[in-house]
């Protein structure tokens, strides 16, 4: 367990390495994704034990739509199955379930399951579990700018006020409005990049990279990331 009380409010994870994990074992990529669900469960439960308030997971990027159709279909079916199976646990453990992304690209059955899970867990307050699905950082900033432009075009006073808009004002147009920016972003599998994820929101996030493949990332590995975070001195450009 982490002994330092410096626990991040919001931990975000880029879950990477499912396919490689499966390949190392002579299995199809789907096998790695299915095993990765167990890591999601382990990290969610550990986040609650450690006092983390928001846990967000990069589950499916907009770029992932370019993967083979068979794999994409299998991933979508796995996500529906996982939501159905985990809903009782969400309710029992007070986990609010949220999905953020370009949901217009998801099929209707998946969107229906997402809506049901979000509705049933809306009043849960122990942990907010945010799943980024069909999401990209550039898409997020672009959709925010479009919304703002439409408002300005329809309201001259709103357009006039744009000159005084702050970064916080603009953040309210992002898909993550109301959710604190991540304090800590973890990426598994040895890749050292953000891959178009939370580009605006990660401005002052602490980054933690590990060679461990996502299906092997469990409570011990999650705690190691929190312990490393506790050592960081977050100055936000200031001098202490």
Catalytic residue positions, numbered: 16, 64
- In sequence order, the 6+-apart residues with CB closer than 8 A to the CB of 86 are 41
Q: Pairing between strand 54-61 and 95-100?
A: unpaired
Note whether 203 and 181 are within 8 A (CB): yes
DSSP per residue, 26-57: T--HHHHHHHHHHHHHHHHHHHHHHT-SEEEE
Judged by DSSP in three states, 87 sits in: helix
Please report which helix (H) or strand (E) contains residue 70, including its range: helix 69-93
Cα-Cα-Cα-Cα dihedral sign, residues 83, 87, 90, 93: negative
Burial 177-188 (b: 16+ CB within 10 A, else e): eebebbbbbbbb
- In sequence order, the 6+-apart residues with CB closer than 8 A to the CB of 100 are 130, 131, 132, 133, 135, 175, 176
DSSP annotation of 181: P
d(CA 90, CA 31): 24
Please report which helix (H) or strand (E) contains residue 105, including its range: none
Binding residues for substrate: 17-21, 29, 33, 61-63, 65, 67, 187, 193-195
Binding residues: 16-21, 29, 33, 61-63, 65, 67, 187, 193-195, 206
Binding residues for Mg(2+): 16, 206
């Amino acid at each position: 367990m982490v002994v330092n009380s410096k626990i991040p409010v919001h931990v975000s994870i880029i879950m990477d390495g499912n396919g490689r994990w499966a390949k190392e074992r002579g299995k199809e990529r789907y096998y790695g994704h299915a095993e990765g669900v167990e890591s999601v469960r382990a990290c969610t439960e550990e986040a609650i034990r450690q006092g983390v308030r928001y846990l967000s997971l990069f589950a499916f990027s907009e770029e992932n739509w370019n993967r083979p159709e068979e794999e994409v279909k299998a991933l979508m079916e796995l996500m529906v199955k996982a939501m159905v199976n985990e809903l009782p646990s969400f309710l029992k453990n007070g986990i609010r379930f949220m999905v953020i992304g370009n949901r217009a690209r998801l099929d209707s059955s998946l969107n229906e399951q997402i809506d049901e899970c979000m509705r049933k867990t809306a009043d849960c307050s122990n942990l907010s579990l945010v799943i980024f699905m069909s999401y990209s950082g550039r898409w997020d900033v672009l959709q925010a700018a479009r919304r703002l432009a439409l408002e300005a075009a329809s309201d001259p006073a709103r357009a006039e006020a744009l000159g005084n808009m702050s970064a916080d004002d603009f953040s309210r147009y992002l898909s993550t409005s109301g959710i604190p920016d991540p304090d800590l972003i973890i990426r598994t599998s040895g890749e050292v990049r953000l891959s178009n994820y939370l580009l605006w929101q990660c401005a002052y996030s602490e980054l933690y990279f590990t060679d461990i493949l996502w299906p092997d990332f469990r409570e011990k590995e999650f705690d190691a990331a929190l312990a490393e975070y506790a050592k960081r001195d977050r100055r936000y450009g200031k001098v202490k």
